[in-house]
A and B are shown apart, each in its own frame.
Chain A
Amino acid sequence: MSSARMPSQRLHAALLAAPAFAILAVLFAVPMLLLFVVSFWRVRNFALTPDMSLAAYARVFDTYGDVLVSTMINGGLTALICVGLGFLFAYAARFRAGRWGDALILVAIVTLFGGYLVKIYAWKAILSTDGFVNAILVASGLSAEPLDTLLYNRGAVIVALVHFLLPFAILPVYGQLRNVNDIQIEAAHDLGASGHQTLMRVIVPQCRTGLFAAFAISFLYAAGDYITPRFLGGGSGSMIGQFIAQEFSTRFNWPAGGAMSFVLMAASLLVLGLVGALFVRRRPS
């Protein structure tokens, strides 16, 4: 590559990236910056007053510490389940389904058509006292009467989130599994590896970044969700997103909402950082 062409190539790259960059900057970075500033302000008589106060942040930990931890747990469990199930599905599509592999992935994507609210309502119906699960429990004699403990808890939230997020977890893993060629797997067996050793030492290491991407997408979405917990969460399933939404919509307490948002973001990045350190190994140099 000649150095004379470099500037025009850079310009080219900049032009290609510009539209997406503009959207991200205008719709994400700028509002975030504003919110960050506002999170240090105060509310007096329902009006925002500029300030340099950490009161809103202090309140997050006093009042919402438990919910924050619970949110991280819900998000983490959801993401782990998505990564596990997503890997199994992607593995089956890549290594066991033959030429039907791509079709299986398409089916997974098609389930996204259902939409997100529809899935929440569906689970509400499935898990309700006169729902599908209870009907089976009662009919099979496993339970004398319908259980009202299926809904409005952590489990219901995680089930619905996994249902919605699974396709997003499958895709990045599948993308990377396609790079693992069959010869590598034959070579591993040839060199003495059992099926399990081949999986752990040849296949999984080569889709680490895909697994991490699957975890990150599922986790960030789940930890930030405020609709699912509101409909299905009840007490134990409540998450901080609900309370952030409340601060903005009904309480008009932007500093509180902002501070909670940034604490949530920091906590999420911390979790991702820790998980990332486990998932992503550095390449040999």
Chain B
Amino acid sequence: MLAPALALLGMLFIFPVLYSTYLGFTNLELVGSRSHDYSFTGLENVTRMLGDYVFIKSTWLTAVFVLGSAIIGQSVLGMALAMLLRKAVLPIRAVVGSVVIIAWVLPEITVALVWYAFSQAGGTLSLLLRHPDSNYLVLVPMLIVSVANLWRNVAFSMLVFSAGLRNLPTEVLEAAEVEGASAWRRYWLVIVPLLKPTIVTNLLLVTILNLSEFTLIYAMTQGGPGTDTMTLPLYVYQEAFVFNQLGYGTAISLVLVVFGAVFSLLFVRAARTQV
């Protein structure tokens, strides 16, 4: 019964993964002579990466993106939303909760489109800020893209934290209140420590999920202006399919995988100890 799943996974998942690992150390190209006569080039791709200014910038951009939009942005906003929603009156809770989640359910391309419209010259943001000629997608591309990503994904963290908050022991919180602790104190000294497993879970999941974000950024900026929003996934695409450097492109993707693997292992380790 496992066979069909294993077969599909084997062919289209495991094999590509292994093949990728090999490819990353070759000089395969999409077209031209190297598409047939390619050879194993050892660490040549690695040296190339280290000397590649765009690669370094791309890594930096990816780190900024994941750190800003996901690790900090999503977690903080998700937690804030989860906490605020608990105190909200029912109509507000229903409406705001739904809106946040719809933002998450929308196809990524739609999100890209509405944020594209929002930040264009003459778009809503520029009108709100009274600079009708400013195209924010060009002026502050990383910011716009990060915020759009945050906008789209925060519902996930919100749900994770909502579940965590619901599972907190109410009597412990009541005891803290009776003992005279202010809301601030209760939050930092009781709620947050009790939520530690949830916070860790969220951080790791959010990192893994956002590390490979492609569609949103590509649809909005294609990595531009110039290379200002060229995160690693976009760079992989560019090198592999635009400049036909399949070998080099795969090598870059391997870097991404290493990052992702590290975080996945951390998550698995954390998930195990929570059981």
Are A and B a genuine interacting pair, yes or no?
no
Chain B residues with a Cβ under 8 A of chain A: none
